[in-house]
A and B are shown apart, each in its own frame.
Chain A
């Protein structure tokens, strides 16, 4: 069975600080990896995704993530956070099981950025 672990439940940073949110997954097969963001009062939006190729992927709003296959990790990073990055961040794994995809989400990390 797939599982996703997000290490930090709540992260508080000041503006301009660097961000790294951890995500580890367990699954023996090929997976697609995603980070979703949920801003206050809004629905889940795709931040970035990794399917194959360059393990360093760039997403919207200056976010990036690195897939390290040997560590089963897909950590999210941003060099300098802004107040508007305050949101909840979810890591997700999507595996092709049989002939259909099945997604597993982590429990999320709430990011609060202080102005």
Chain B
């Protein structure tokens, strides 16, 4: 039973560029949430996708957008990268749109130069 997988593992971009991160949820899960974890801080909620729609959003600008595909996998897109976007980006999957237990992937380490 595969857990949550994310790709790529590491990514280096320069300011102003755009990036796409990918996530495949745990088998049987239909909800994907994305988090940003800066060094020394806890994960910060970006948004949650369920039934291919954004259902909930945290305090992140519109430069952060996402998508969920019919097979429940998801992408996180960040446009016009800033130095402050450097962080570990975590994907978590769960079952249903409620406040259920989330299972986390290993994350994508994004470095913006």
Contacts and interface: CB of A to CB of B under 8 A. Distances in A.
Interface residues of A, number: 28
B interface residue count range (under 10 / 10 to 19 / 20 to 34 / 35 or more): 20 to 34
B56 A100 contact: yes
B99 A31 contact: yes
Contacts of A96: 98-99
B48 interface: yes
A101 B56 contact: yes
A46 B3 CA distance: 13
B104 A103 contact: no
A45 to B, nearest CB: 8
What's the dominant secondary structure at chain A's contact region? strand
A102 B48 CA distance: 8
A34 B101 contact: yes
Interface string A68-105: 00000000000000000000001010111111111111
A43 B45 contact: no
Contacts of A101: 48, 56, 94, 97-100
Given A32-B99, A96-B98, A99-B97, A104 B56 contact: no
B55 A100 contact: yes
Nearest to B6: A43
Contacts of A4: 42
A43 B40 contact: no
A106 interface: yes
27 contacts: A31-B99, A36-B104, A46-B103, A94-B100, A94-B102, A95-B99, A96-B98, A97-B56, A98-B56, A99-B97, A100-B55, A100-B56, A100-B98, A101-B48, A101-B100, A102-B99, A103-B35, A103-B43, A103-B45, A105-B35, A105-B42, A105-B43, A105-B44, A106-B42, A107-B40, A107-B41, A107-B42
A56 interface: no
Given A46-B101, A101-B56, 19 more contacts: A32-B99, A36-B104, A43-B105, A43-B107, A44-B104, A46-B103, A92-B42, A94-B99, A94-B102, A101-B100, A102-B45, A102-B56, A103-B43, A103-B45, A103-B99, A104-B45, A105-B43, A105-B44, A108-B42
